[in-house]
Amino acid sequence: MSLLKQIFTWWNGQTIGTRFHTWRFGTKVGQDELGNTYYQGGGKDSEGRTRRWVIYNGYADASAIPPGWHGWMHHRTDVSPADEKYQAREWQKPHRPNGTGTAQAYRPPGSIAVAGERPRVTGDYDAWTPGN
């Protein structure tokens, strides 16, 4: 990665500041199946908990953190998935990139971008009309 890219962009990986902070204070905790690497250390956050962060493998997309690591990142558990041999539950879906602004974006029936009709509203809704 070029030096200018590391200085000025955060969405393509770690910046120089993050690289320095990780080198100086970070302790590697583990890596997920997508190649994201997780760290902790470097003091406490505003709630007194140890700081935790992720270095993404490629484009920074927060939805690319698997469920087990998400729980660890948000201090829902103190044991990382690497330490407990985490297995995703059968109802947990694999990661899909955020499709907003692409052809893969969700478009409900009746939206401007999709043919079809919107579902009829039920009796528990009254549309607002100006002047009423």
Q: Is the pLDDT of residue 7 over 80?
A: no
Percent of the chain with pLDDT over 90: 2
What pTM was estimated for this model as a whole? 0.65
pLDDT score recorded for residue 17: 67
Which residues on adjacent β-strands are paired with residue 53?
39
Q: Where are the alpha helices (DSSP H) in the chain?
A: 3-8, 16-25, 67-73, 81-84
Range among 9-23, 92-106, 114-128 rated most confident: 92-106
Q: Is the pLDDT of residue 44 over 60?
A: yes
